[in-house]
Chain A
Protein backbone atom coordinates (compact mmCIF):
# COMPACT_ATOMS: atom_id res chain seq x y z
CA UNK A 1 0.00 0.00 0.00
CA UNK A 2 1.70 3.18 -1.18
CA UNK A 3 -0.89 5.59 0.15
CA UNK A 4 -2.64 8.36 -1.73
CA UNK A 5 -0.55 9.98 -4.44
CA UNK A 6 -1.08 13.27 -6.23
CA UNK A 7 0.50 14.77 -9.32
CA UNK A 8 1.91 17.22 -9.91
CA UNK A 9 3.13 18.33 -6.50
CA UNK A 10 3.49 21.92 -7.65
CA UNK A 11 1.91 23.84 -10.50
CA UNK A 12 2.55 27.42 -11.52
CA UNK A 13 0.28 28.84 -14.19
CA UNK A 14 -0.80 32.15 -15.62
CA UNK A 15 -4.23 33.55 -15.02
CA UNK A 16 -6.70 32.30 -17.60
CA UNK A 17 -4.97 28.98 -18.24
CA UNK A 18 -6.53 25.58 -17.55
CA UNK A 19 -4.91 23.13 -15.14
CA UNK A 20 -5.57 19.49 -14.33
CA UNK A 21 -4.51 17.55 -11.24
CA UNK A 22 -4.50 13.81 -10.73
CA UNK A 23 -5.13 11.75 -7.62
CA UNK A 24 -4.50 8.03 -7.17
CA UNK A 25 -6.25 6.74 -4.04
CA UNK A 26 -5.46 3.74 -1.88
CA UNK A 27 -6.45 0.86 -4.11
CA UNK A 28 -9.19 -0.73 -2.02
CA UNK A 29 -10.85 2.57 -1.08
CA UNK A 30 -14.20 3.26 -2.71
CA UNK A 31 -14.48 6.93 -1.74
CA UNK A 32 -12.35 9.75 -3.05
CA UNK A 33 -12.46 13.37 -1.89
CA UNK A 34 -11.09 16.68 -3.05
CA UNK A 35 -10.35 19.54 -0.66
CA UNK A 36 -8.76 22.95 -0.96
CA UNK A 37 -6.55 24.40 1.76
CA UNK A 38 -5.25 27.93 2.06
CA UNK A 39 -2.64 29.17 4.50
CA UNK A 40 -3.82 29.24 8.08
CA UNK A 41 -7.04 27.37 7.40
CA UNK A 42 -8.23 23.82 7.49
CA UNK A 43 -9.12 21.82 4.40
CA UNK A 44 -12.31 22.97 2.71
CA UNK A 45 -14.53 20.33 1.09
CA UNK A 46 -14.92 20.54 -2.69
CA UNK A 47 -16.44 17.25 -3.87
CA UNK A 48 -16.42 13.51 -3.36
CA UNK A 49 -17.01 10.27 -5.24
CA UNK A 50 -18.17 6.85 -4.29
CA UNK A 51 -16.71 4.58 -6.91
CA UNK A 52 -17.30 6.48 -10.17
CA UNK A 53 -20.37 8.43 -8.97
CA UNK A 54 -19.91 12.03 -7.86
CA UNK A 55 -22.14 12.21 -4.80
CA UNK A 56 -21.75 15.79 -3.68
CA UNK A 57 -20.26 19.08 -4.78
CA UNK A 58 -19.70 22.07 -2.55
CA UNK A 59 -21.74 25.16 -3.34
CA UNK A 60 -18.41 26.96 -3.21
CA UNK A 61 -17.28 25.07 -6.29
CA UNK A 62 -17.74 27.31 -9.29
CA UNK A 63 -18.56 26.11 -12.79
CA UNK A 64 -14.88 26.46 -13.66
CA UNK A 65 -14.11 23.43 -11.51
CA UNK A 66 -14.85 19.89 -12.66
CA UNK A 67 -13.84 16.53 -11.28
CA UNK A 68 -14.07 13.05 -12.70
CA UNK A 69 -13.42 9.53 -11.56
CA UNK A 70 -14.19 7.60 -14.72
CA UNK A 71 -13.41 4.05 -13.67
CA UNK A 72 -13.76 4.40 -9.96
CA UNK A 73 -10.02 4.43 -9.45
CA UNK A 74 -7.97 7.60 -10.06
CA UNK A 75 -9.57 11.03 -10.24
CA UNK A 76 -8.82 14.29 -12.00
CA UNK A 77 -9.67 17.82 -10.93
CA UNK A 78 -9.68 20.45 -13.67
CA UNK A 79 -9.80 24.19 -13.17
CA UNK A 80 -10.64 26.21 -16.25
CA UNK A 81 -9.70 29.87 -16.76
CA UNK A 82 -7.72 30.00 -13.52
CA UNK A 83 -7.88 33.08 -11.32
CA UNK A 84 -5.42 34.31 -8.71
CA UNK A 85 -7.93 33.38 -6.02
CA UNK A 86 -7.58 29.73 -7.05
CA UNK A 87 -4.05 29.68 -5.63
CA UNK A 88 -4.12 27.09 -2.85
CA UNK A 89 -3.13 23.57 -1.89
CA UNK A 90 -5.47 21.01 -3.45
CA UNK A 91 -5.75 17.88 -1.34
CA UNK A 92 -7.06 14.49 -2.30
CA UNK A 93 -8.16 11.90 0.24
CA UNK A 94 -9.63 8.42 0.10
CA UNK A 95 -11.51 6.17 2.47
CA UNK A 96 -13.27 2.85 2.65
CA UNK A 97 -16.94 3.54 3.20
CA UNK A 98 -18.99 0.81 4.79
CA UNK A 99 -22.74 0.82 4.42
CA UNK A 100 -24.51 3.03 6.95
CA UNK A 101 -21.44 4.29 8.82
CA UNK A 102 -19.13 7.27 8.75
CA UNK A 103 -16.54 5.74 11.01
CA UNK A 104 -13.62 5.29 8.70
CA UNK A 105 -11.10 8.09 8.45
CA UNK A 106 -9.82 9.69 5.30
CA UNK A 107 -6.24 9.22 4.21
CA UNK A 108 -4.72 12.25 2.58
CA UNK A 109 -2.26 12.68 -0.23
CA UNK A 110 0.59 15.21 -0.11
CA UNK A 111 -1.38 17.77 -2.11
CA UNK A 112 -0.82 19.81 -5.25
CA UNK A 113 0.21 23.40 -4.63
CA UNK A 114 -1.24 25.69 -7.29
CA UNK A 115 0.11 29.18 -7.85
CA UNK A 116 -1.75 31.39 -10.31
CA UNK A 117 0.27 34.38 -11.48
Chain B
Protein backbone atom coordinates (compact mmCIF):
# COMPACT_ATOMS: atom_id res chain seq x y z
CA UNK B 1 0.00 0.00 0.00
CA UNK B 2 0.90 3.67 -0.14
CA UNK B 3 2.78 5.36 2.68
CA UNK B 4 4.41 8.67 3.55
CA UNK B 5 7.29 9.12 5.96
CA UNK B 6 8.22 12.54 7.33
CA UNK B 7 11.20 13.53 9.40
CA UNK B 8 10.36 13.46 13.05
CA UNK B 9 9.95 16.67 14.93
CA UNK B 10 9.67 18.89 16.63
CA UNK B 11 11.91 21.27 14.74
CA UNK B 12 12.95 24.51 16.40
CA UNK B 13 14.66 27.25 14.41
CA UNK B 14 15.60 30.85 14.86
CA UNK B 15 13.99 33.46 12.64
CA UNK B 16 15.65 33.73 9.19
CA UNK B 17 17.12 30.23 9.42
CA UNK B 18 16.94 27.76 6.53
CA UNK B 19 14.26 25.08 6.78
CA UNK B 20 14.20 21.56 5.39
CA UNK B 21 11.54 19.00 6.28
CA UNK B 22 12.19 15.64 4.69
CA UNK B 23 9.42 13.57 3.14
CA UNK B 24 9.67 10.25 1.34
CA UNK B 25 6.87 8.16 -0.07
CA UNK B 26 5.95 4.72 -1.30
CA UNK B 27 3.24 4.42 -3.92
CA UNK B 28 2.00 1.76 -6.28
CA UNK B 29 0.84 4.25 -8.91
CA UNK B 30 1.88 7.72 -10.05
CA UNK B 31 0.72 9.99 -7.26
CA UNK B 32 0.41 13.72 -6.97
CA UNK B 33 2.28 15.11 -3.98
CA UNK B 34 1.21 17.83 -1.56
CA UNK B 35 2.31 19.74 1.49
CA UNK B 36 -0.41 20.89 3.88
CA UNK B 37 0.03 23.20 6.86
CA UNK B 38 -1.97 23.41 10.06
CA UNK B 39 -1.59 26.60 12.05
CA UNK B 40 -2.47 26.55 15.76
CA UNK B 41 -6.22 26.30 16.22
CA UNK B 42 -6.92 26.08 12.49
CA UNK B 43 -7.72 23.39 9.92
CA UNK B 44 -5.46 21.87 7.32
CA UNK B 45 -4.57 24.19 4.44
CA UNK B 46 -2.92 23.38 1.16
CA UNK B 47 0.59 24.84 1.02
CA UNK B 48 1.86 23.57 -2.33
CA UNK B 49 1.60 20.69 -4.79
CA UNK B 50 3.43 18.89 -7.58
CA UNK B 51 1.74 16.51 -9.95
CA UNK B 52 4.57 14.80 -11.86
CA UNK B 53 8.25 14.02 -11.65
CA UNK B 54 10.59 17.03 -11.54
CA UNK B 55 7.73 19.46 -10.94
CA UNK B 56 8.46 22.12 -8.33
CA UNK B 57 5.65 23.39 -6.17
CA UNK B 58 6.04 26.75 -4.47
CA UNK B 59 4.03 29.10 -2.27
CA UNK B 60 4.77 31.73 0.39
CA UNK B 61 8.51 31.18 0.00
CA UNK B 62 8.23 27.42 0.49
CA UNK B 63 9.36 25.03 -2.25
CA UNK B 64 9.35 21.29 -2.84
CA UNK B 65 10.48 19.26 -5.87
CA UNK B 66 8.93 15.93 -6.89
CA UNK B 67 11.88 13.53 -7.09
CA UNK B 68 10.76 10.23 -8.56
CA UNK B 69 14.22 8.65 -8.47
CA UNK B 70 14.51 9.14 -4.72
CA UNK B 71 10.73 9.05 -4.04
CA UNK B 72 11.05 12.28 -2.11
CA UNK B 73 9.29 15.62 -1.79
CA UNK B 74 11.30 17.63 0.73
CA UNK B 75 9.95 20.98 1.89
CA UNK B 76 12.36 23.94 2.00
CA UNK B 77 12.30 27.62 2.86
CA UNK B 78 15.25 29.93 2.74
CA UNK B 79 14.33 32.19 5.64
CA UNK B 80 11.64 31.22 8.13
CA UNK B 81 9.51 33.65 10.11
CA UNK B 82 7.81 33.32 13.48
CA UNK B 83 4.50 33.16 11.60
CA UNK B 84 5.62 29.91 9.92
CA UNK B 85 5.26 28.09 13.24
CA UNK B 86 2.80 25.28 12.50
CA UNK B 87 2.48 21.57 11.81
CA UNK B 88 3.43 20.53 8.28
CA UNK B 89 2.01 17.41 6.62
CA UNK B 90 3.32 15.71 3.50
CA UNK B 91 0.71 13.80 1.52
CA UNK B 92 0.30 11.81 -1.66
CA UNK B 93 -2.88 11.42 -3.68
CA UNK B 94 -3.36 8.28 -5.72
CA UNK B 95 -6.49 6.59 -7.05
CA UNK B 96 -8.66 9.28 -5.51
CA UNK B 97 -7.61 9.21 -1.88
CA UNK B 98 -4.79 10.81 0.09
CA UNK B 99 -2.22 9.27 2.40
CA UNK B 100 -0.62 11.59 4.94
CA UNK B 101 2.56 11.59 6.95
CA UNK B 102 2.37 12.08 10.70
CA UNK B 103 3.28 15.75 10.53
CA UNK B 104 6.30 17.77 11.61
CA UNK B 105 5.90 20.53 14.16
CA UNK B 106 7.93 23.64 13.41
CA UNK B 107 8.56 26.33 16.00
CA UNK B 108 10.34 29.50 14.92
CA UNK B 109 11.76 31.69 17.68
CA UNK B 110 12.43 35.41 17.27
Contacts and interface: CB of A to CB of B under 8 A. Distances in A.
Interface of A: 31, 33, 40-45, 48, 50, 55-56, 91, 93, 97, 101-103, 105-111
B93 interface: yes
A111 B103 contact: no
Nearest to A31: B96
B96 A111 contact: no
Interface in B18-66: 31-32, 34, 36, 42-46, 49, 51
Contacts of A97: 96
Contacts of B36: 108
A109 B100 contact: no
Q: Which applies to chain B's interface (DSSP): helix, strand, loop or mixed?
A: strand
B71 interface: no
Contacts of B95: 102
A29 B75 CA distance: 28
Max chain B CB contacts within 10 Å: which of A41, A43, A109? Answer: A43
Nearest to B94: A102
Given A42-B4, A102-B51, 17 more contacts: A31-B96, A33-B97, A33-B98, A40-B103, A41-B102, A42-B89, A42-B103, A56-B97, A93-B44, A102-B32, A102-B95, A102-B96, A105-B49, A107-B46, A108-B44, A110-B43, A111-B43
